Every structure is written in C-alpha cells, then in structure tokens.
Structure 1
C-alpha cells in the first residue's frame, strides 16, 4: 500500500477542462470523485478512473478497483509512463441493479508511439 500513498501529479486547476473529455471543469466533473464523492454511474466511474490515470492517482485507482481483480500496486511513478491523450466513451449499459458495462477507447503516447486501448469494462456496485 506504500505505492498508493506516493505523491500524485498536481490536479488541473478547478476551472480547467476535465481530462476525461467532458465539457465540464475538473472541479465539477472528476475532481469531486477523486476527492471522495461516490461516482453515481459506471460511466462516471470510468471517466474518473481515466482522469486518475492522467494524474497518476494510485490511491484512487486502487480504491475504485474491484477486489477480485485489483493488483497489489500500480507503480504509476515508474518510468516511462504514457502521456494520456483522450477518452472516448463508445457505449454504456446497465445490466441490473449491481452491474454495468462501459465500452471505451483511451488514447495515449508512450516512447513517441501512439496507442489505443479499446475495452469493455464490467462494473460491480
């Protein structure tokens, strides 16, 4: 758990655009979830987790990761790390009261090479 307590990247100013790609400010979008407010939907949780990756906020990522698949640590401060370029939500669906899916594409650049992560994630409440 020591890795989760490392210094995170400074968050954007409260008036800056949120890294998750919504037209909202960081403060009115993902900032409040990274500060402790519960995300109301799987899509919002996915957006806040993307933002946490951009800020290297290991503590938030580990806390919001389901225990059955959560790694012991993330080591986001080890070099090299990707530069996150954007998030696009393709689809989101609620299966029942406790499960939802979010299909997304997250773009980044690592060592000068552009990469895309296209995934369908399942969320449990």
Structure 2
C-alpha cells in the first residue's frame, strides 16, 4: 500500500480555478483516509477517490465503497501497473439516489499503454455513495 504526503498532487488530476493540482489531503485524501467520517458527497467525487485508491493500492477503501451486491471478496493489485491519469467525461444523476460517471483511466502495464473507458453506475444508500458496476468500451 502506497502512502501519499498530504500536500502531494492528488492522483485523480483535479485542478483548482488557477489550474494548479489539488492537494491529495484536500481532494481524494479526505475520503480515502477518512471514509467513516467523510463519505464522498456525490458519484463523481467517489469515482475520483476510487481512482486515487487504485493508484495507492487501498483495497480497504475500494471494498468499502463497492456496493455489497457486486463487491468481490478481495482485490489484488498488479505491481506492474503504473497509473497515468484520469479524465472524467460526464457525471449525471439518473435518479434521486443513482448516478453514472463516464471516465477514461490510463495506465501502463509492462511498457504497454492501456486506456480503460467505462460508464460506471453508483447508488446512494443511507447518505453514502457506492460503486455498483460499469460498462467498458
């Protein structure tokens, strides 16, 4: 499991109004490191924080934010994977407590560039958002 300094640029790539990278502690870190106290406020924040958790190999956060109906028993990380960036293309509510996020995540495995595009589905239960599943294209 990788650790990140609080002031390091957040892996999710969010920038402020002046196009400066957001600090991890002010962006995804507040959710990944404090899920019990600070759930992500919407599906896009959850999507971004889950991407950061993949970068940091935080299986605890990924499993906790995965809906029980589709959650795997465990997660394994490929040490050869190097995450390169995230682009959120669309975030839309599909109901009072459901949403979709369309994103592209880029990574490299053993020198080969991979582009993962997915439309992910999320649901809010008891005030918390959870990843349900997604369609890759």
Normalised to the residue count of structure 2, the TM-score between the two structures is 0.81
Q: Give SS of 2:44's match.
A: helix
Residue aligning to 2:6: 14
- Once residues 120 and 97 of structure 1 are traced to their aligned partners in structure 2, the CA distance between those partners, rounded to angstroms, is 18
Q: Does 1:86 pair with 2:81? A: no
Residue aligning to 1:4: none
Per-residue deviation, 1:15:
1.1
Deviations 1:20-57 (A, max 9, x none): 00021101000000122100010000000000000000
Per-residue deviation, 1:120:
0.0
Residue aligning to 1:112: 111
Q: Is the Cα contact below 8 Å between 1:19 and 1:86 reproduced in 2? A: yes
Q: Does 1:96 pair with 2:95? A: yes
Please provide the CA RMSD for this pair: 0.9
- Once residues 80 and 90 of structure 2 are traced to their aligned partners in structure 1, the CA distance between those partners, rounded to angstroms, is 27
Segments of 4+ in structure 1 off by > 2 A? none
Q: Please, which runs of 5 or more residues in structure 2 have no aligned partner?
A: 16-21, 125-137
Residue aligning to 1:5: none
What aligned pairs does 1:1-125 form with structure 2 within 5 A after superposition? 8-11=1-4, 13-23=5-15, 24-35=22-33, 36=35, 37-76=38-77, 79-125=78-124
Q: Is the Cα contact below 8 Å between 1:58 and 1:74 reproduced in 2? A: yes
- Once residues 123 and 94 of structure 1 are traced to their aligned partners in structure 2, the CA distance between those partners, rounded to angstroms, is 9
**Aligned residue pairs, count:** 115
Per-residue deviation, 1:69:
1.1
